Every structure is written in C-alpha cells, then in structure tokens.
Amino acid sequence: MKQLFQGTAVRSLARGAAVAGLALALGAMTTGAVAAAPTAIPPGLSCHTGKHAIDDYTGYALCKNNGSSTQTFWVHLVCGWSPDVDGEHVTLAPGQSGQSTAHCAGLGTGIGEIHVRP
C-alpha cells in the first residue's frame, strides 16, 4: 500500500510540473503585442491594420488606393499554433477604399502578426 501511494504522489508531482511548464510556455508565447504590418505595404496603398474590437481572432486591413492604377491586396494573419490565414482579395480602383478580413481558428493562440499582401 505504501508503494502505491508513493507512485501516485510521484505521478501527481510530475503532472503538476508538466502543467506548470506548459502554462509558462503558453504565457511566454501569448504576451507579445500584435505586430501591425512588419512587411512593406504595397506601393500606392495606404493601410491600417488591426484586430476586431471584440474578437481577438479576427484581423483586418483597411486600405485606400492612392495610386494611379488598380491595386489588389489582402490581409494575411499569422495565427500562432493554428495555420496562418488569408482574407479575401480586394481590388481597388484609384481613389477607392476597401477592407479584407480573416479569422484565426478558435483553438489556437490568436493573432500574432498582421500583414498586407499585394
């Protein structure tokens, strides 16, 4: 009986250490701020990127075509543990504005970075 108790105690300690280690690792991964468009925005576009006000898993790129030719863009989200996602392709004539949105899977860690792609 004493040996059974010691085995249970050892398993409980090991399980607790594993959970604590996982919590530390997750905390380190999710404490960083969202990087807004670290890559260059396509020439001729002025864009604002961000996360949805009440949904940390939905990101957007709102762009205006300041150039003299038609431009196509889309938002690209880096989603942590879930696969990265692209939003719909938006084509803008000169002077037009438009928005592309995308949504990271709910089981992941949320949006890590937001990029505008040409």
> What pLDDT sits at residue 107?
81
Average pLDDT of every residue of the chain: 77
Token reading at 98: 């438009």
Q: Where are the beta strands (DSSP E) in the chain?
A: 35-36, 45-52, 55-65, 71-78, 85-86, 90-92, 97-103, 113-117
CATH class of 34-117: mainly beta
At residue 52 the predicted structure's pLDDT band, cuts being 50, 70 and 90, is very high
Cα gap 9→30, rounded to integer Å: 32
Give the highest mean pLDDT range of 2-11, 30-39, 54-63. Answer: 54-63
In the chain, what are the domain boundaries? 1-31, 34-117
